Amino acid sequence: TKTKKFAALERLAIEGMQFFLDERVCILTVTNEMYKKTGTTELDTESLPPLTRQIEGVEIGLTIREKADGTCKCSIRTYESVNAAELASAFGGGGHKQAAACRFDCDVKTATKMLVEKSKELLHI
């Protein structure tokens, strides 16, 4: 069962979902404004990262969560074709082959650009 607040956050996140690199990369972003609008916090986002991998054709699913200080954290979910830990380690993070995470000392837009560029390399595009 989902709370109404979480359902509202999930809806906003899905509405803002972006696709890159021939729709092989899906990015779901959660901003401070979304937390404020729905009455949620970062703690309410734990079940969002798997959503990106549930979309046909997506090989790299990224969930970027904005922090209160304007920096962000990224949860990475992949299929066997891409190593999530390799993507995370490029930005000082770590994890497992299909699930990893990293932090960025920059805004969401800059982190998105950096993640897409590295994803392009890992997808051999």
What does DSSP assign to residue 42? G
> What pLDDT is recorded for position 104?
98
Query: Could you give the number of structural domains in the chain?
Result: 1
Distance of CA 75 to the CA centre of its chain: 5
What is the domain range of residue 62? Answer: 4-122
- Write down the pTM of the prediction: 0.94
Rounded to an integer, the average pLDDT of 108-117 is 97
Given a cut of 90, is residue 46 above it in pLDDT? no
Listed in sequence order, the residues at least 6 apart from 124 whose beta carbon sits closer than 8 Å to its beta carbon are none
Reported as a pLDDT band with limits 50, 70 and 90, residue 1 is confident
> What pLDDT is recorded for position 28?
97
CATH number of the domain that 9 lies in? 3.10.310.30
In b/e form, how buried is each residue of 61-93, taking b as 16+ CB within 10 angstroms? bbbbbbeeeeebbbbbbbeeebbbbbbbebbeb
Rounded to an integer, the average pLDDT of 9-32 is 97
Q: What are the pLDDT digits (tens) for 24-38?
A: 999 999 999 999 999
